[in-house]
């Protein structure tokens, strides 16, 4: 168990040597970690170190990767000169697979 770092996310995206991406991902990882901690009400995190359990860390990594690849959260294609770039992934909440993992730790009303 360890906190998800920007370098973890950059490596997940296949760019472990990109320090700029790692810095940006580190900022985003802190936000996504806070969101995951809030969603699970602190469950899924080591009570001593605060590090996410491995499955929760995987959720944080994948959600951060979506967020960092499209930090403006543009939903449509963008045009730069004659180049049209298709819409990138957006972070519009947890994916279904991420929700399955997080729901293992989430306390729900009975």
**Per-residue pLDDT reduced to its tens digit, 52-99:** 999 999 999 999 998 887 665 555 566 666 766 665 555 678 989 999
pLDDT for position 76: 58
- Best CA proximity match to 45, nearest among 35, 30, 57: 57
Q: Which residue has the higher pLDDT, 74 or 47?
A: 47
pTM: 0.81
Number of other residues whose CB lies within 10 A of the CB of residue 11: 16
Residues contacting residue 67 through CB under 8 Å, at least 6 positions apart = 28, 31, 32, 73, 91
Other Cβ atoms within 10 Å of 26 Cβ, number: 19
Quick one: which of 101, 72, 97, 76 has its CA closest to 86? 76
User: Does 44 score more than 60 pLDDT?
Assistant: yes
Distance separating alpha carbons of residues 99 and 7, to the nearest angstrom: 24
* Most distant CA pair in the chain, distance: 56
pLDDT at residue number 9: 95
């Amino acid at each position: 168990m360890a906190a998800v770092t920007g370098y973890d996310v950059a490596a997940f995206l296949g760019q472990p040597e990109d320090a700029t991406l790692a810095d940006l991902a580190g900022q985003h990882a802190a936000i996504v970690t806070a969101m995951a901690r809030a969603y699970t009400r602190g469950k899924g995190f080591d009570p001593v170190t605060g590090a996410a359990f491995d499955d929760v860390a995987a959720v944080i990594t994948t959600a951060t990767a979506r967020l960092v690849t499209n930090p403006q959260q543009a939903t449509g294609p963008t045009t730069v000169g004659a180049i049209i770039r298709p819409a990138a992934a957006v972070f519009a909440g947890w994916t279904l697979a991420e929700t399955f993992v997080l729901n293992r730790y989430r306390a729900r009303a009975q």
